[in-house]
Structure 1
Amino acid sequence: MQVSERLRKASLLAKKRSPFLQVVKSAAATVAAWLAAFWLVPGQLPVFAAIAALLVVQPSVDESFGKAIERSIGVISGVLLATGISLLFGQDSWVILVAVVVAILAAWALRMTSGTANQVAISAMLVLTIGSAQPEYALDRVIETLIGAAIGIIVNTLIVPPVLVEPARRDVALLGGELAASLDRLAAALEGPRTSTELEQLMLEARLMRPMRDAAEASVEAGEASLTLNPRRSAHRTELESLGAIFERIGPVVTQVIGMTRAFADHYDDSIHREPTVRAIAEQLRRSAHDMRLLTRPIEPEPEPVTSEQPALTSALVVSPPTGGHWILIGSLMEDLRRIREELVD
């Protein structure tokens, strides 16, 4: 096994690198915070300011703001706690351990987030180990942290603030394309005899849409978060709202297509394709695939050609009485088809 594979399995390597611009912004914020704090709060190396700036530069401005609040609250709490304990018990080595334990317990009792809780303990330990726990020193470290957090937000806001609309567009388009393909595959399966291997393959391909739907939903949410407090949001708000509206319409169709595929695989027999209603359902599925492509066509980077620019789901399906025991399958397919039609017919 290669070293990189071992490291990835040990969660030491990320699946993909962060954007290089994000790395540059983190470095710039750290340097700027160090210089500003060194000038404004002389006397100590501005470690707290540099750490705050480094942590605050996040993939979105909204996350930066949240991280700045988390960092500031953690540092202030940790510094005040360390100062109080030091004034009561002095600065012996055992006092540092007591301060860390008390910080962890206090954060737990106050139900702080894991990031804030860790920051309380780390700040208390740093204050007691690298500096003096006098009130003046503690106040300087708080000011230093606020400077670093503010600079991190400013840098992340002014230097090309990230807009995560492109991943949302990509994932929603991929989901729409796969849904249309799944509808076509199910239509073809309804029109002729199928082997057990083909049915298993059909079911497997349908189930793979679940992670695609989850990825599209996460991308849309990330896109919305990236526009919060972002000065570039006005140029992208309309597009993201359109992507969200498309996802709201096609997301539920994943459940219906998987349900139809499962029902077909569970109740399949070699005579089902002879039912007139089943052939009519197959035609409706092809029309649904056509309308799905029309719906997602504006966001496709390279849209597939369509036979018509007009919606195909223009008339309701007329059902004839099924023969034998096929009414269970046909009833299930009809109900899911009705729900798909409700999503696609505007």
Structure 2
Amino acid sequence: MGRSARRAAAGPGPERDVVTQSLKAAGAAAAAWALTGWWWNAPMALMAPWTAVVLVQSTVYRSLRSGVQQLVVIAIGTVLAAGAANLTGNTMTAMVLVLPVAVLLGNYARFGEHGLYAPTTALFVLAYGSYSGLDVLHRLFESAVGAVIGIAVNALILPPVHLRSVRDFLRRLPAESAEVLHVVADGLREDHGREQAEAWHDRARRLAAVLSDLRDARLWTRESYRLNPGHRLRRTGPALPSSEWDRAWERIVDPLVTLTRTLASTVGDEPGLRPVPGAALGQLSDLLRAAGDVCAADRAILEGQGRRAKRERALALESAWAAHGRLKTKMLEQDSETATSLGGLVAESQQLLHALAPVDDGVRRT
């Protein structure tokens, strides 16, 4: 998941998650050392905490997958190094033979970030001269013990469930949409210029980035539920809207982006479209303010203010459609060039209002 997953995981309270996982990783490493180094006094005890600390991953599924990858990579590095050392009888020669192959295998995409352990393990084996058959078995066994401890700690002690980031993006979408619509509505009643209109367009386009982050957060959350034995015991709050809610907001954001682009094209020293008369801009301002109120009500509905917010939403949507009707009548009073500019705004605002269909328990119907 890479950068998107990290960004999605950075919702409200990320510091608490980081502290929790860090303490779990430290505890897993300490437990692995206590078992293999202190109690068993194993000859390769370092391998257990070394493996355990990196397997307390951000999801239980990722811990299991990483555990398999890491054990495979450590086994490859160990066997290659031990085989070369026993074959050549010389540490330097064995390094020259093994390291290029180990690094190449380590870069294999299926091993992911754990590929680095192939050349690292080979170096440990050769540098410490631990390449007898018994040493190889000890190294693999203690790595397996560390993997089991790391995975068990992550799965059984506060297993991570990533929901807060999804909730954050779900709230941000209607809140930021409402803010953009209200800012544009206020600006249309002022003497706005090209720079201000382009700023509106940039803010509308950033809503698409919030949608992308929401999709990534949902994937991240879905993964955190896989093979997680404790997620049902964690308090997750009320049920979230389905992914259909996300697709509905895509249908809201798209016309908003197009509408602000059209507005930017009607102002400036050399506008691409004929400027829209002030009276029509006033009606568009009323429409967008009411649409913003609809989005603000959606935010309130998500936060549990159902009955009152739904009434306010219905009134705001009715007001928006009334303003749209008045805006359409202005088209009949314009010349062909101005009607072209105004027609684009009328069409996109109509698409926006159609997308702002009634909601039921936070899930938009289309």
Smaller-chain TM-score range?
A: 0.7 to 0.9
Maintained 8 Å contact 1:191/1:282: yes
Distance in 1, Cα, partners of 2:40 & 2:111 = 29
Which residue number in structure 2 is paired with residue 288 of structure 1?
A: 291
Residue 76 of structure 1 deviates from its aligned partner by 1.6
Residues 294 and 86 (structure 1 numbering): CA distance in 2 closer, same or farther, change over 3 Å?
Answer: same
Residue 41 of structure 1 deviates from its aligned partner by 6.4
Give the match's secondary structure for 1:164: coil
Residues 112 and 307 (structure 1 numbering): CA distance in 2 closer, same or farther, change over 3 Å?
Answer: closer
Which residue of the other structure, out of 330, 343, 346, is the alignment partner of 2:355? 343
Maintained 8 Å contact 2:184/2:285: yes
Which residue number in structure 2 is paired with residue 313 of structure 1?
A: 317
Maintained 8 Å contact 1:57/1:153: yes
Pairwise mapping of residues 194-343 of structure 1 onto structure 2 (< 5 A)? 194-234=192-232, 239=238, 241-242=240-241, 244-268=243-267, 271-275=276-280, 279-300=282-303, 308-311=311-314, 312-313=316-317, 317-318=324-325, 319-320=328-329, 321-322=331-332, 323-324=334-335, 325-343=337-355
- Structure 2: which 5+ runs fail to align? 1-13, 268-273, 358-364
Residue 186 of structure 1 deviates from its aligned partner by 2.4
User: Sequence identity of aligned pairs in percent?
Assistant: 22
1:49 aligns to 2:48 (yes or no)? yes
Maintained 8 Å contact 1:188/1:282: yes
Residues 162 and 43 (structure 1 numbering): CA distance in 2 closer, same or farther, change over 3 Å?
Answer: closer
Distance in 1, Cα, partners of 2:225 & 2:347 = 39
Distance in 1, Cα, partners of 2:97 & 2:50 = 24
> Which stretch shifts more, 181-190 or 146-155?
181-190
Maintained 8 Å contact 1:91/1:128: no
**How many pairs are equivalent?**
327
The one-letter code sitting in structure 2 at the alignment partner of 1:164 is: H
Distance in 2, Cα, partners of 1:253 & 1:236 = 32
Which residue number in structure 1 is paired with residue 156 of structure 2?
A: 158
Maintained 8 Å contact 1:203/1:261: yes
Maintained 8 Å contact 2:293/2:313: no
Task: Tell me the TM-score normalized by structure 1.
Answer: 0.80
Residue 157 of structure 1 deviates from its aligned partner by 1.4
Which residue number in structure 2 is paired with residue 8 of structure 1?
A: none
Which residue number in structure 2 is paired with residue 12 of structure 1?
A: none
Which residue number in structure 1 is paired with residue 78 of structure 2?
A: 79
The one-letter code sitting in structure 2 at the alignment partner of 1:246 is: W
Distance in 2, Cα, partners of 1:335 & 1:232 = 50
Residue 193 of structure 1 deviates from its aligned partner by 4.0
Distance in 2, Cα, partners of 1:132 & 1:76 = 14
Maintained 8 Å contact 1:33/1:148: yes
1:120 aligns to 2:118 (yes or no)? yes
Distance in 2, Cα, partners of 1:274 & 1:91 = 89
Residue 53 of structure 1 deviates from its aligned partner by 0.6
Residue 306 of structure 1 deviates from its aligned partner by 5.7
- Structure 1: which 5+ runs fail to align? 1-15
Give the match's secondary structure for 1:101: helix
Residue 253 of structure 1 deviates from its aligned partner by 2.8
Distance in 2, Cα, partners of 1:216 & 1:111 = 27
Residue 196 of structure 1 deviates from its aligned partner by 3.9
The one-letter code sitting in structure 2 at the alignment partner of 1:53 is: A
Residue 150 of structure 1 deviates from its aligned partner by 1.3
Distance in 2, Cα, partners of 1:240 & 1:129 = 55
> Which stretch shifts more, 87-96 or 313-322?
313-322
Residue 262 of structure 1 deviates from its aligned partner by 1.4
The one-letter code sitting in structure 2 at the alignment partner of 1:83 is: A
Distance in 2, Cα, partners of 1:169 & 1:112 = 32
Which residue number in structure 2 is paired with residue 10 of structure 1?
A: none
> Which stretch shifts more, 236-245 or 147-156?
236-245
> Which stretch shifts more, 51-60 or 324-333?
324-333
Maintained 8 Å contact 2:37/2:45: yes
Residues 273 and 221 (structure 1 numbering): CA distance in 2 closer, same or farther, change over 3 Å?
Answer: farther
Residues 201 and 220 (structure 1 numbering): CA distance in 2 closer, same or farther, change over 3 Å?
Answer: same
Distance in 1, Cα, partners of 2:109 & 2:213 = 30
Distance in 1, Cα, partners of 2:193 & 2:139 = 71
Give the match's secondary structure for 1:102: helix
Q: Deviations over 1:220-259 (max 9, x none)?
A: 3332332222234346678564264433322443333222
Distance in 2, Cα, partners of 1:19 & 1:186 = 39
Residue 179 of structure 1 deviates from its aligned partner by 0.4
Which residue number in structure 1 is paired with residue 63 of structure 2?
A: 64
Maintained 8 Å contact 1:51/1:148: yes
The one-letter code sitting in structure 2 at the alignment partner of 1:337 is: S
Maintained 8 Å contact 1:53/1:149: yes
